[in-house]
């Protein structure tokens, strides 16, 4: 015979279920913030190489970037496939673009305007101003 579920057991299970649901809702934002931090670190590494005047970069760093892209950003992986292993500036630009995509994703998750939304609003406002002036 199975033991009766106590009020404490039911409350503990409800608490665990609520905490799990809360964490699942936060998971996409946490992952996006981690991806942003990783891209920031990669950009710092690339920028240090650029400032050092080195047009080439270590295979280990390229492997890290490709591994990150394979796991988290198919568009970045595609851009990297189109660049030569020795094109530091192209890789830097591709990683910078990936960072922008993550920023937009974070804005959507937080339901706040992104830089793209602001850019679109400014373009529309400028167009409206020109139409009024004409």
Would you list the domain boundaries of the chain? 28-133
101 CB-side CA count, 13 A? 14
The whole-number pLDDT of residue 24 equals: 66
State the pLDDT at residue 94: 94
Mean pLDDT value of segment 52-78: 89
What is the number of other CB atoms lying within 10 angstroms of the CB of residue 61? 15
More confidently predicted of 25 and 85 = 25
Average pLDDT value for the chain: 84
Say what the pTM is: 0.69
Please, where are the H alpha helices in the chain?
7-51, 59-72, 74-81, 88-110, 115-133
Share of the chain above pLDDT 90, in %: 41
């Amino acid at each position: 015979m199975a033991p009766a579920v106590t009020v404490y057991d039911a409350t503990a299970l409800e608490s665990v279920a609520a905490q799990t649901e809360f964490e699942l809702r936060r998971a996409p934002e946490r992952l996006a913030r981690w991806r942003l931090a990783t891209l920031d670190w990669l950009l710092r590494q690339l920028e240090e190489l650029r400032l050092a005047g080195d047009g080439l970069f270590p295979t280990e760093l390229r492997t890290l970037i490709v591994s990150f892209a394979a796991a988290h950003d198919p568009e970045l992986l595609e851009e990297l496939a189109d660049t030569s292993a020795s094109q530091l500036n192209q890789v830097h630009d591709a990683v910078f673009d990936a960072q922008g995509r993550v920023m937009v994703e974070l804005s959507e998750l937080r339901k706040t305007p992104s830089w793209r939304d602001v850019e679109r609003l400014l373009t529309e406002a400028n167009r409206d101003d020109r139409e009024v002036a004409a």
